[in-house]
Structure 1
């Protein structure tokens, strides 16, 4: 299937009073039409910066896309003009931000905020835009949309505000929807409803979704493919079943081992990942996970491993894939995987 988005060798840095932060360091990703790609990793791994780079929302200064390309329908978004990006945002690429209360304008009704994009991108008149806004609120499951369209964000509950954000993002039928931790501030019941809503809307519109999260339960529920990020790099990518059942990177094992599971018996111990993420003011020259990895070898600290193709859809960057690497297992992290020489 043709890719609707390709990110190649993306590097993003921020200049601060303390020096340069190398937030994203050579990220390669692709997104197919109609699929959901989840980007996972702990805070500071570069997930949101990668997504904001696609939207060209990196504040400059201090941020800068230093290298790489972001191809949307064969158009490099790192090189298009700001005017062209204004046309693309909302109409071709939509985004749901983490906190709807700070993302929605408190001085405007929810209806007007949906209508803004419709009037700007689709040149609708006021009457048609309002009808479409009501339709979108109804589509995302907000009751009494004819009334709610005239209300302000503070009159909505947390779940309804997130639904309103989805309505704004999907109003112009974008080809890509970027959801940056869309369920973080919601309770589990509302979270399940939002995820189900996104899947239903995706099925109707064939919108491709980039889902940014640190919640592996959300990933299992919603995504087809997963990219695991750490220290500004993608360390493993694969289909959901490959990442959950046959992961190959010790960092992915660590994520799995720190997540409780329903099929565990009593007294199963969680295994948190010891240590801290790398200092991105002075990134390591080798594998970014080497200082925290229980299987690290000397070369892990000295040189970044090349990407190994495990299958057509599964790739990993780890020295344990080298033919001369020792045999290791992820079973200590509650992950039954065995790799390396026998």
Structure 2
């Protein structure tokens, strides 16, 4: 049985604002195994980035609050650790690649110094040894002339090169888990492909587990072994990448897949998911997707769906897949959404 690097159990994260409590993550559970790449996908506002920040304990409290759940890493519940204890884990055992490298890198420090800091702090290396390791890391992530580039500042690098520097910083101390929050969003397509290839190569070489946060299903298909589909702070479906792409069971997952361009389908218009995500100040009582779902039934408006295991490891939360659900009746159309898969 594969070793579980990370276990997230019934995680609930809220933000206490003047307008009320924003329930950003609601009962999230998933595992990450050693050497596995797990993708968390969904629209903006679905709770993906909050989940990654919650694992790293980067959510400011207040206004953020961990209302329930556990984040188990190396036998420890990260939620219960102090800031000082978390500082010893961040960078050394869990690395993170942030969404925008230009705002994440310190513009007043050379990239070499930013890599060296973590190595000296977490691995106790001397400055000279840490600098040698930093050069090796820049070379590893494909930056040419690392001995020269290590003395340069972030503004002297292109967007793709800055993202490579972020990856070098995140991997410098050989963490067991790498969290990549939208690592390719601000990059053009060719650079995106290079970054994904780099992450896959490093995963194979270092046996690092990866959590990748994205809304790009093309990236998911290329790197992930397991997919978690989030909507309105909840998991609506999770399973292997093959199961999610070729045997999706939730109407939200169907909508996401229909919105992706296909090379084998000429002349077919892309379909969008009509409507907008719910207000998490007052989320729906039942399935959060029902106002936008063309298959919604009466029960969807009042009760969140039970878990249905399609095949081992593939779970969905949809009343359509419940064993007692009618199989022949066309579900009631709600909210003006078009019918038909």
What's the TM-score, normalizing by structure 2? Answer: 0.95
Q: 1:78 to 1:23 in 2, by over 3 A?
A: same
State the match for 2:113 in structure 1.
112
State the match for 1:19 in structure 2.
20
State the match for 2:253 in structure 1.
252
Matches within 5 A, 1:86-235: 86-235=87-236
Contact map agreement 2:306 2:322 (CA 8 A) in 1: no
Pairwise CA RMSD: 1.5
CA distance in 2, matches of 1:172, 1:183: 22
CA distance in 1, matches of 2:136, 2:195: 17
State the match for 1:324 in structure 2.
324
The offset of 1:99, in angstroms, is: 0.2
Q: Does 1:314 align with 2:278?
A: no
Where does structure 1 lack aligned partners over 5 or more consecutive residues?
336-342
Q: Deviations over 1:173-211 (max 9, x none)?
A: 000000000000000000000000001111111000000
State the match for 1:340 in structure 2.
none
Give the secondary structure class of the aligned counterpart of 2:128.
Answer: helix
What's the TM-score, normalizing by structure 1? Answer: 0.95
State the match for 1:274 in structure 2.
274
CA distance in 2, matches of 1:187, 1:26: 35
Give the secondary structure class of the aligned counterpart of 1:78.
Answer: helix
Q: 1:102 to 1:246 in 2, by over 3 A?
A: same
CA distance in 2, matches of 1:326, 1:277: 27
CA distance in 1, matches of 2:213, 2:340: 24
CA distance in 1, matches of 2:327, 2:155: 56
CA distance in 1, matches of 2:131, 2:21: 46
Q: How many equivalent pairs are there? A: 333
CA distance in 1, matches of 2:117, 2:241: 37
CA distance in 2, matches of 1:334, 1:166: 42
State the match for 2:59 in structure 1.
58
CA distance in 1, matches of 2:78, 2:223: 27
Give the secondary structure class of the aligned counterpart of 1:310.
Answer: strand
Q: Does 1:32 align with 2:25?
A: no
